[in-house]
Copies of this chain bind each other. A is one copy, B any other.
Amino acid sequence: MHANVKQNVIPITAPGLKVACSQCNLRELCLPFGLSEDDMSRLDDLIGGGRKLKRGQHLYRAGEAFESIFAVKAGFFKTDVLTEDGRDQVTGFQMAGEILGMDGISTEVHTCNAVALEDSEVCLIPFTELEMLSSQIRSLQHHLHKVMSREIVRDHGVMMLLGTMRAEERLAAFLLNLSQRFTARGYSPAEFHLRMTREEIGSYLGLKLETVSRAFSRFQDEGLISVQQKHIRILDIPRMKALLAPPDGRIG
């Protein structure tokens, strides 16, 4: 019997596939940003080999001991928290060059789950060693702080979205955010493939999957986007952006 993709929890490590930060085309987005060649090779030394995950596999789970943060080398992840009463909230989607696992630093235990939404690969960054090195390399230390701060700012943006926006605004903000992040990685700003289900989008946006689906349909009817299952094409980015600034405008 073959291991089912969704149930296979055995980590697939591939130490042979390690690629140095200095060789990585994500170095401008990722943790080594701004480091000298020399410092980058010191960072290389502490980064564990890449770890590959199949779609559906957990990178880590809430409750597991925290030891490392992870840089997404390739693929796509979601993070979610769930309460004892069964509530489930997707807290973010992470793509190449983004850092996962910083929630675990505060208590030494992961507080959310990280799941690969497609076959993916991460770099493993042992946190104690990273702290050690960052105390020696100022720019690394500062960049780490920036990465953590950026996560805080991002979360505030999601709070704004969840606290003040209506369904279509939320979805527009979500699509524009994805678009912008794909652009930063050299992909098309207008055309991309969603790796997550409507339900996962809904959980992230505080909506039910039917509402997400209806909003997609409405956008399509209005000629804003074209949707074919998970394939999205944004046809009118300016009008999409205008959705975020409601008609009543800037009222003091």
Binding site for B on A (CB under 8 A): 81, 83-89, 91, 102-107, 111-112, 131, 134-136, 138, 141-142, 145-153, 155-160, 162-165, 203-206, 244-246, 249-252
Q: How distant is A44 from chain B, measured CB to nearest CB, in Å? A: 21
Q: Contact: A145 with B131, CB < 8 Å?
A: yes
Q: How distant is A232 from chain B, measured CB to nearest CB, in Å? A: 22
The 7 closest A-B pairs by CB, nearest first: A105-B149, A155-B155, A106-B149, A162-B162, A163-B206, A106-B150, A85-B245
State in angstroms the CA–CA spacing of A205 and B163 once bound together.
Answer: 7
State in angstroms the CA–CA spacing of A64 and B87 once bound together.
Answer: 38
Assuming A135-B135, A152-B103, A250-B86, is B160 touching A81 (CB within 8 A)?
A: yes
Sample (29) of A-B pairs whose CB atoms are under 8 Å apart: A81-B159, A83-B160, A84-B250, A85-B246, A85-B249, A85-B250, A87-B164, A91-B160, A102-B148, A105-B148, A106-B150, A107-B153, A111-B153, A112-B156, A131-B141, A131-B145, A134-B141, A135-B138, A145-B148, A148-B148, A148-B152, A151-B152, A152-B155, A155-B156, A155-B158, A155-B159, A162-B206, A163-B204, A164-B206
Task: Count identical subunits in the complex.
Answer: 2
Measured between beta carbons, the chain B residues less than 8 angstroms from A245 are 83-85
Q: Contact: B156 with A159, CB < 8 Å?
A: no
Q: In the complex, given contacts A87-B165, A159-B162, what are 4 additional A-B residue pairs having Cβ atoms less than 8 angstroms apart?
A: A89-B163, A103-B149, A141-B141, A145-B148
Q: Contact: B159 with A89, CB < 8 Å?
A: yes
Q: How distant is A169 from chain B, measured CB to nearest CB, in Å? A: 10
Measured between beta carbons, the chain B residues less than 8 angstroms from A204 are 163
Q: How distant is A164 from chain B, measured CB to nearest CB, in Å? A: 5
Measured between beta carbons, the chain B residues less than 8 angstroms from A131 are 138, 141-142, 145
Measured between beta carbons, the chain B residues less than 8 angstroms from A89 are 156, 159-160, 163-164
Measured between beta carbons, the chain B residues less than 8 angstroms from A146 are 105-106
Assuming A85-B246, A142-B131, A149-B148, is B158 touching A159 (CB within 8 A)?
A: yes
Assuming A131-B141, A138-B135, A156-B91, is B102 touching A149 (CB within 8 A)?
A: yes
Measured between beta carbons, the chain B residues less than 8 angstroms from A249 are 85-86
State in angstroms the CA–CA spacing of A135 and B245 once bound together.
Answer: 43
Q: Contact: A135 with B145, CB < 8 Å?
A: no
Q: How distant is A99 from chain B, measured CB to nearest CB, in Å? A: 11
